[in-house]
Amino acid sequence: MEREQALKIVKGQLTDHRYQHTLGVMETAISLAKQYGADEKKAETAAIFHDYAKFRPKDEMRQIILNQNFPQDLLHYHAELWHAPAGAYLVELEAGIKDKEVLDAIRYHTSGRPGMTLLEKIIYLADYIEPGRHFPGVDEVRALAKENLNTALIQAVKNTILFLMKKNQPVYPDSFKTYNDLVMRQE
């Protein structure tokens, strides 16, 4: 799909702030794809659509997870996790995106998963470091991303888990599994 058409579709789904975030993720993902040798067009499409379902009603996302037989344990964790798998489903259904790699990059952009593909890593990281992000530790991850994709990704996943734990929030097991998988591969 042409970039302009894809952007027009997501603009209708997002607030202006979330749309600006999406543009940042797109630029960052394309640049990471160039740097690390991923498909730039797939990175562009996955980035544009990654938060497509961010503002869907919780009940709609819950029904998608139930009906599509997505991991049911998601329903026991924070609803913020749901827009990623629900988004992968809705982007195929409503925007006609069929590329499995692109859909998986959307599906796993919030929790990650063990054995992430290059494209999945790029979208997770771009979502974390795009220029509109301003949380503690983001500059360190931006610097790491210039040197080593996996090292940067570990730092991003670790920061996310620590952030949740500091607030005494439950952590979805796949986030821990992602962290463990990345660290064990580094050893």
**Amino acid in the structure at residue 122:** I
Q: Decide if residue 120 touches ligand DGI (CB under 6 A).
A: no
The one of ligand DGI, Fe ion, none whose footprint includes residue 89, by CB under 5 to 8 A per kind, is none
Among 52, 70, 89, 172, the residue binding ligand DGI under the rule CB under 6 A is: 172
Q: Contacts with Fe ion in 27-56 (CB under 5 A)? A: 51
Distance, in Å, from the CA atom of 151 to the CA atom of 157, rounded to the nearest integer, reads: 10
For ligand DGI (CB under 6 A), the number of binding residues is: 18
CB atoms within 10 A of CB 61: 24
Per CB under 6 A, the segment of 92-100, 146-154, 169-177, 179-187 that binds ligand DGI is 169-177
Shortest distance, position 185 Cβ to ligand DGI, whole Å? 20
Q: Are 87 and 49 in contact (CB under 8 A)?
A: yes
How many other CB atoms are found less than 10 A from the CB of residue 123?
30
CA 151, CA 66: separation in Å to the nearest integer? 35
User: What is the size of the binding site for Fe ion (CB under 5 A)?
Assistant: 2
Contacting range for ligand DGI; rule: CB under 6 A; set: 27-35, 88-96, 103-111, 134-142: 103-111
* Alpha-carbon distances, residue 78 vs 136, 164, 168, 173 (angstroms): 22, 11, 12, 12
Q: Which residues bind to ligand DGI, rule: CB under 6 A?
A: 51, 54, 77-78, 80-81, 84, 109-111, 127, 160, 164, 169-172, 175
